[in-house]
Structure 1
Amino acid sequence: MSAEKMDELLSIIGPELTRQNTNYRSAIEPKQRLAVGLRYLASGDSLISLAFSYRLGHTTVMNSVHMVCAAIEKLMMQSFLPRPTADSWKEVAQRFWEKWNFPNCLGALDGKHIVIQAPPLSGSQYFNYKKTFSIVLLALVDAEYRFRCIQVGDLGRTSDGGVYAGYDLGREIENNTLHVPPSTSLPGAAHLGDVPHVMVGDAAFLLKPYLMRPYPGQNLIHRKRIFNYRLSRARMVVENAFGILASRWRIFHRRINLHPKNVDTLVVAACILHNSLLAPSENVQLLEEAAELGRCMAPVRNMGRNRASREACAVRESFATFFTSPEGSVSWQDRMV
C-alpha cells in the first residue's frame, strides 16, 4: 500500500478511529491505530508481537485491529463492495467474454476456508474436511479479480454447496430480485436461442439454470470436455482472487486467534481493501501472470452427480454447443483437452 493510499484510507475512516484525550492519558492517534490494523492484516504477526513492536498494550493493539476492520466495513462497503445493479452485471458479463471467452457470465463462484483458533465449547462445528477449524468465505468474483458478492461466517464443516444453499445470492437470482439482465443470445449464435446469464462454479455446486458446473465423469465426449475446459478457465479467476487476497494480507496464511464474529469483520474488511487496491496500474504483472495460467490450467476434477432440472441441462448443452461452434471456439482449446 502506497503512502498516498494510506492517507486516502485514513481520510475516510479516521473519524471512526478518533478517541478523546483525558487528564490521565493522550488517546492513540488514528494514524497509529490504522498502521497497527494494517500491519496485523499484512504481516500475520500475533497481537503480542505487534504490541512489542509499537510499544503499546496488548489490549490497545487488539482494540485497534477491531476498530480499523469495523470502520472499513462501515464506511467503505458501499463504495467498494456495493449491491450489484443491472449495469454492473452487464459490465461483468462483457469483460468475461472479452478476457476469458465465456459469454453471459455474471462471475465465478467458490468458497475459501479461513483458518481460526477453535472457539471454546464449539465442538466440531468449525471442524472442516482439511482437519482444521475454519469459517467459510463464499465469493462471487468478476473478470478483473474483484469481489462482487461475498458471504462470510458459515461454519467450517459446511460444504461450499451447503453454504450457497443458504446464501441470499442464489435465492435473489432465482426470484429475479437482483436486477440480473434478461436472457440473450450468445455472441454470433442467435440460432441457439436466448441463454440466461449464469455464474460458473466447480463440482461442489448444484447445476442450476443460473449456475453452471462441469459435466461429471471421466470418459466424456469431445464437446463436453471442451465445455469443462472453458468453464474451468473462467472459474479460475476466483481462485486467483483468493490467491491475491492471501498474498497481500498474510494473516490468511496463519491461524487467526480471534472470536469468530471479529474474524467475520476482518474478512469483510480485507475483501474491501482488496477491491480498493486492485488497480490494473499497480498490479499489471500479477494480473498478467494469473491470466497466462488460464491457457495452462488442467481440467477440474469432477465430483459426484446431482439431479438437475431439464432447463439447467439445456442451458449447459447450449454453452457446450456454442464452445465447439466457429463463433464460440478458441484456437487453443483442442490442445488443452
Structure 2
Amino acid sequence: MAVTPDDIADALRQVVALVVPLVSDVTVNALRKNERRRGRVWVRSWISRRLILGASNSLLRELAVEDVDSYRNHLRMTPQRFDELLTLVEKKIKKKDTMFRLAIPAKTKLEITLRYLATGDSFASLQYLYRVPKSSISKFLPEVLAAVYEVLEEYIKVPSTKEEWELVQRKFEVQWNFPNCIGAIDGKHVQIKCPAESGSNYYNYKGTFSIILFALVDAEYNFLYIDVGANGKSNDGAVFQASTLNIAMERNTLNLPQNAVIVADDAFPLRKDILKPFSKRNLTISERIFNYRLSRARRVSENAFGILVARFRVFERPIALIPETVDLVVKTCCALHNWLRKSSGKYYLHPSSVDVEDMATCTIIPGTWRTTLNTSCLLRTSKLTSTNAYKRELKSFREQYEKFFSSKEGSLPWQWKWIGADQPSNSL
C-alpha cells in the first residue's frame, strides 16, 4: 500500500502531540529547580552576622569584663583558664578560610564545646546562641573534644614511681585516716540514647541505655585512672577485671608500695590489694567500725563523680550522640575536671560541694552536688552477687584492718559515737 503525503503529515502531527507535553514538563521542572536554587542562600543572613552578634563576640566579651562569675558559670572556667586552654588546642582545631566563606574561629568552636559540656543543650539551641549552624556543630564537636582530651590527658595520671604512690597514701592517711590506701575505685553508668541497631548491648539493669565510667580516685577527688566505654550490660567487677589497671596490678608493674590497698564497695572482689566492707548482717562493733572507716575513704570516689556531673550538666540527661563520641565527652570532662581542680582548686571545689561529716551530730551533710543535681542519669553500676567463699587469707587480711581501727593506736576519738557505741577502755 502506497504512503501518501497526507499519511506522513498525520504521523508527524501524532509525534508532535506526544513529544510537546513531555518537553513542556521537563522545561517546567527545570525552571522550578532553578527557582529553588535562586531561593537558596549559602549562609543565612542572621548566621552571617555571627562576628557581630554571636555570643562569642558579644555576650562572652561583656561577661569577661563585667561579670566574671557569670562567665565562669557559662563555660565552667574563668576567662584566664579559657585563654590557656585555647592556646593549647587552637592549632589542632583551627581551619583555613576559603574563597567562599570564613572558617569558624577556633575560639568559637571551643566555647560552643564547653557550653555543650556545661549544659547538655541541644545543637539547635547552641546554633541560635552562637549563630553557628547545628550541622557544623555536630561535625566539629568530636574534633574539639578529641583535641581537648589530647592536651589535658596528662592530668589523668597513674603514679609511676613508689614515691608518687606514697604521696597518695600520705594524703589518704592524713585526710581520711586510712593507712596504705592508694585510691578508691568505683563505676558509674552514663546514660545515652539507644544507639541505632545496638539491640540490648547498652541496656542496663535500671532499664535505660548507658556506657560505664570506671575510675580510681585519689584523696583530693582527682581521677588517677579512668576506663570509659564498657556497655551498660557490664558491672563493676567485670569492667575492673578487664581494665588495664587490674592487669598492671596483677603483673605487679605499678611500683606499688608494700601493703598498698584500694578501697571499694561490694561490687568488687575482696583481694590482698582491695578492701571492701563487711556485708553480712548483725555486724560486730569492730566490723561496724571498719565499715565506717572504709566508707570515709571510699566516699571520695562518689564525691568525685558528683562534682563531675554538677560541673558538666551534659550528664544530667541521656546523651544523644553515638557511643564513640559519648566516650570522648566522658574522657574530656574527666580531664577538664582534673585540670581545673589542679589549676584552680579553690574555685572548682567549694567546701560545701562535697559530703561533710558533722562530728557533733554524727551525720553526713550532703554535698551540694547531691541536693542540686538529678543523679538518676549517673547510676551506680550493678553489684555482683556476694559470696561467702572468701579464702581464709583474705578474711585474715581484712580482719587486720578491723582490729587496727578498734585498737588504741588506730582508733579515732569520734568513731565510737558515730556508730552509736561506747568507747572501750582498751582504746583509751
> Partners of 2:104 and 2:393 in 1: how far apart?
59
> Partners of 1:161 and 1:66 in 2: how far apart?
30
Structure 2 counterpart SS, 1:153? strand
State which drifts further: 311-320 or 146-155: 311-320
The CA deviation string for residues 290-330 of structure 1, in whole angstroms up to 9 with x for no partner, is 343796349xx996325333332222111111101111111
Q: Which amino acid aligns with 1:82?
A: K
Asked whether the equivalents of residues 176 and 219 of structure 2 are also in contact (C-alpha less than 8 Å), the reply is yes
> Partners of 1:103 and 1:302 in 2: how far apart?
27
1:3 corresponds to 2:79? yes
Q: Choose which of 278, 281, 293 in structure 2 pairs with 1:218.
A: 281
After TM superposition, list the pairs within 5 Å mapping 1:101-250 onto structure 2. 101-181=177-257, 183=258, 196-250=259-313
> Partners of 2:412 and 2:195 in 1: how far apart?
49
Asked whether the equivalents of residues 233 and 297 of structure 1 are also in contact (C-alpha less than 8 Å), the reply is no
Q: Which residue of 2 aligns with 1:83?
A: 158
Q: Choose which of 316, 328, 334 in structure 1 pairs with 2:398.
A: 316
> Partners of 2:262 and 2:275 in 1: how far apart?
6
> Partners of 1:235 and 1:296 in 2: how far apart?
17
> Partners of 2:297 and 2:158 in 1: how far apart?
22
Asked whether the equivalents of residues 224 and 320 of structure 1 are also in contact (C-alpha less than 8 Å), the reply is yes
1:57 corresponds to 2:120? no
Q: Which amino acid aligns with 2:260?
A: H
The CA deviation string for residues 226-276 of structure 1, in whole angstroms up to 9 with x for no partner, is 111111111101000001000000001011011101111110100000001
Q: Which amino acid aligns with 1:285?
A: H
> Partners of 2:180 and 2:313 in 1: how far apart?
34
Runs of 4+ with >6 A deviation = none
> Partners of 1:293 and 1:16 in 2: how far apart?
48
The CA deviation string for residues 137-190 of structure 1, in whole angstroms up to 9 with x for no partner, is 001100100000000000101111111111121121121111211x2xxxxxxx
Structure 2 counterpart SS, 1:151? strand
Q: Which amino acid aligns with 2:160?
A: T
> Partners of 2:336 and 2:232 in 1: how far apart?
24
Q: Which residue of 2 aligns with 1:282?
A: 347
Asked whether the equivalents of residues 184 and 217 of structure 2 are also in contact (C-alpha less than 8 Å), the reply is yes
RMSD: 1.9
User: Aligned-pair distance for 1:284?
Assistant: 5.2
Q: Which residue of 2 aligns with 1:188?
A: none
Structure 2 counterpart SS, 1:82? coil
> Partners of 2:174 and 2:289 in 1: how far apart?
18
1:296 corresponds to 2:372? no
Structure whose CA Rg is larger: 2
Q: Which runs of 5+ in 1 are unaligned?
A: 184-195
Q: Which has the higher contact order (CA 8 A, sep 6+)?
A: 1
TM-score by length of 2: 0.72
User: Aligned-pair distance for 1:124?
Assistant: 1.1
> Partners of 1:65 and 1:84 in 2: how far apart?
31
Asked whether the equivalents of residues 215 and 302 of structure 1 are also in contact (C-alpha less than 8 Å), the reply is no
Percent identity over the alignment is: 42
> Partners of 1:134 and 1:125 in 2: how far apart?
9
> Partners of 1:310 and 1:99 in 2: how far apart?
31
TM-score by length of 1: 0.91
Size of the aligned set, in residue pairs, is 321
